Structure 1
Amino acid sequence: MRFVIAALGVVLVLVGAVWTLQGANLLGGSVMSGSPMWLVIGLVALVAGIWLVVRAVRARRA
Structure 2
Amino acid sequence: MSLGLLAIVIGGVWTLQGLDYLDDSLMSGQGFWAAAGGVLVVGGLALIVVGMRRRSGSQQ
Distance in 2 (CA, whole Å) between partners of 1:27 and 1:54 is 29
Structural mapping, 1:17-28, within 5 Å: 17-28=12-23
Stretches (4+) displaced over 2 A? none
1:51 alignment counterpart: 46
What residue number does 1:3 align with?
none
TM-score of the aligned structures, taking structure 1 as reference length: 0.86
Identity of aligned residues (%): 40
Rg: which structure is higher? 2
CA shift at 1:40, angstroms?
0.6
Question: Would you say how many aligned residue pairs link Structure 1 and Structure 2?
Answer: 57
Query: d(CA) in 1 for partners of 2:56 and 2:23?
Result: 40
Q: Counterpart amino acid of 1:57?
A: M
How much does 1:37 deviate? 0.5
* Offset, 1:38: 0.3
Q: Structure 1: where are the runs of 5+ without partners?
A: 1-5
Q: Is 1:37 the counterpart of 2:32 in the alignment?
A: yes
Give distance in 2, aligned partners of 1:58 and 1:26: 35
